Structure 1
Amino acid sequence: MTALDTPAAVRRAAMDLLARREHGRVELERKLRKRGASDELIHAELDRLTEDGLLSEARYLEAFINARARSGHGPARIREELTQRGLPRGDVEQALRDSPFDWASQLQEVWQRKFGGERPLDAKARAKHMRFLVYRGYAPEQVARLLSGRLND
C-alpha cells in the first residue's frame, strides 16, 4: 500500500472509500489516518470533498438509518450506533425524525418475524420478547404496549 503523502493520494483514497458506500466525516478521517495520511492533508481534502458535494453527513445519516431500519433495528439502537460513529446528537435526532419509517409498525413486523405474532403466555416468555425487542432498539414502553395488545393506543 502506498503512503498517502500528497493531496491527490488522500483525495483518491477518500473517493475510493466513498465509492463503496457513504461515510461520515469522522469515520473517513479515521480510515485515512490508519492508511498513513497526515491530519492536515485529511482535513483539507475532506473539506474539498464536502464543498464538491461528494462527502455529505446528511446523505450518510439517511443511508445508515435506511439500512439499519430495513434490517429491523429500532431508533434507539440506530441513535446509539451513529453517536458512537462521531455524528452530532442533534443531527442524528433530526435525521431519525425525518426518516420515513413508522417505528411502531416496524416493531410489530420484527416481533411477528421473530415470535410469529404469538403473545407471551408467562413472565419468562414476556421477558424474552422484551429483551430481544429492546436490544433491537425499540422503546421498552412501546414494546410493553405491543405485548399487551395495545400498540396503537
Structure 2
Amino acid sequence: MRPKQQKLTLKNRALNYLSLREHSRLELGRKLARYAEEGDDVEALLDFLEKAKFLSSERFSEALVRRRSESYGNSRILAELQTHNLDPELMAQSKAELAETEVARACAAWQKKFGHLALANSSDSDSSDPDSIQSSREQRAKQFRFLAQRGFSSNAIKIALRGIVDDVDQFDS
C-alpha cells in the first residue's frame, strides 16, 4: 500500500512547477491560486521567488521564444508573450531577436511541412501545362496560408517561398 501523499505547501508546489519549466509570474500565480488556502499570500510567495531568482521574466521570455521559434512566426510568439503581461522592454528585446531570424525560420517551417514537394516539382518537366500552373498556384496559396497561420509576416513568407534565403537584406520587419 502507498502511504498517503503529503499535502504540498504552496512554496513546494511553486518549486515543483518551476522545476519542470520556466513560468511567468502571471501564469504561476494562476496555478498557485487554485491551491491557496485562506491564510496563504500568493503575491508574497511570488515576490520571494523572484527575489530568490527562482522566478524570472527574462528566463521565461527566452525559454518561450526558444521553444516556439522552431515552428512559429514573430506575430504568434509575440502575441503569446503579451498574454503573460511581460515588461514592454523585454517584449521589444524579444521582438528584435525574432526579427533577425524570421525568414530562416519560415524556410525551416516550410521545409518541414512541404519539403517533399520540392523534389516532386523538380522532376516535373512539363511546367507550361495550364493545369499544372493552376495546381502550382493552389499549392503556393496553401503554403502561404500555412505559414501565415503560424504567425510569419507576409514579407518573410514571400521570401521563403521564393527561396531567397541568402538575401535577408530585402526583408524589412
> TM-score, normalising length from structure 2?
0.72
* Runs of at least 5 residues in structure 1 that lack an aligned partner in the other structure: none
SS at match of 1:87: coil
1:25 alignment partner AA: R
Q: 2:147 aligns with which of 115, 125, 133?
A: 133
2:77 alignment partner AA: I
**How many residues of Structure 1 are paired with residues of Structure 2 in the alignment?**
148
Larger Rg: 2
Q: CA deviation at 1:38?
A: 5.8
For residues 83-140 of structure 1, the C-alpha deviation after alignment (integer angstroms, 9 at most, x for no partner) is 1233344422312324696221121111112111638953321210111001112101
1:138 alignment partner AA: F
CA distance in 2, matches of 1:138, 1:43: 36
CA distance in 2, matches of 1:39, 1:64: 33
Q: Does 1:144 align with 2:158?
A: yes
Q: Does 1:31 align with 2:31?
A: yes
* Contact 1:3-1:36 at 8 Å conserved across structures: no
CA distance in 2, matches of 1:135, 1:57: 27
* Contact 2:103-2:157 at 8 Å conserved across structures: no
Could you say if the C-alpha distance between residues 125 and 101 of structure 1 is closer, same or farther in structure 2, counting changes exceeding 3 Å? same
Could you say if the C-alpha distance between residues 88 and 124 of structure 1 is closer, same or farther in structure 2, counting changes exceeding 3 Å? farther
2:129 aligns with none
Could you say if the C-alpha distance between residues 101 and 142 of structure 1 is closer, same or farther in structure 2, counting changes exceeding 3 Å? closer
2:31 alignment partner AA: K
2:68 aligns with 68
2:157 alignment partner AA: V
> TM-score, normalising length from structure 1?
0.81
Could you say if the C-alpha distance between residues 39 and 136 of structure 1 is closer, same or farther in structure 2, counting changes exceeding 3 Å? farther
